[in-house]
């Protein structure tokens, strides 16, 4: 058995495989995803019931024109734009592609 590489007080979101390092980050994610936290099956385990999270990459020019809420830093990605589809219960996070844009 390998030792856990995450800090003891970290919150690991298993579905998307990323780690939140504070309760504040966890609460921020819960709010953005219009979710609710429930106690899990063991102490320290939570279940997040929330909108589905989707990630999309856009070229810089398209990202710049996108009308959406902008966050300068979110889950290690900087910056992102966020759109919420309440009918489809989906929150889409848009980030810029890492490739160089061509004219």
Note the pLDDT tens digit of each residue in 3-15: 556 566 666 666 6
Q: How far apart (Å, rounded) are the C-alpha atoms in residues 95 and 89?
A: 20
Tens of pLDDT, residues 13-68: 666 667 777 888 889 999 999 999 999 888 878 889 999 999 999 999 999 999 99
Predicted TM-score (pTM) of the model is 0.76
- Give the pair of three-digit tokens for residue 93: 């996070």
**What pLDDT, on a 0 to 100 scale, did the predictor assign at position 10?**
65
DSSP per-residue codes, 70-93: EES-BTTBSSEEEEEETTTTEEEE
Q: How far apart (Å, rounded) are the C-alpha atoms in residues 30 and 86?
A: 15
């Amino acid at each position: 058995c390998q030792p856990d590489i995450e800090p003891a007080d970290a919150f690991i979101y298993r579905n998307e495989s990323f780690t939140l390092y504070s309760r504040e980050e966890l609460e921020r994610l819960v709010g953005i995803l219009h979710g609710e936290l429930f106690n899990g099956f063991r102490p320290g385990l939570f279940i997040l019931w929330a909108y589905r999270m989707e990630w999309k990459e856009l070229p810089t020019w398209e990202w710049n024109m996108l009308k959406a809420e902008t966050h300068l830093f979110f889950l290690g990605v900087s910056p992102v734009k966020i759109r919420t589809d309440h009918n489809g219960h989906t929150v889409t996070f848009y980030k810029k592609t890492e490739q160089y844009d061509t004219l």
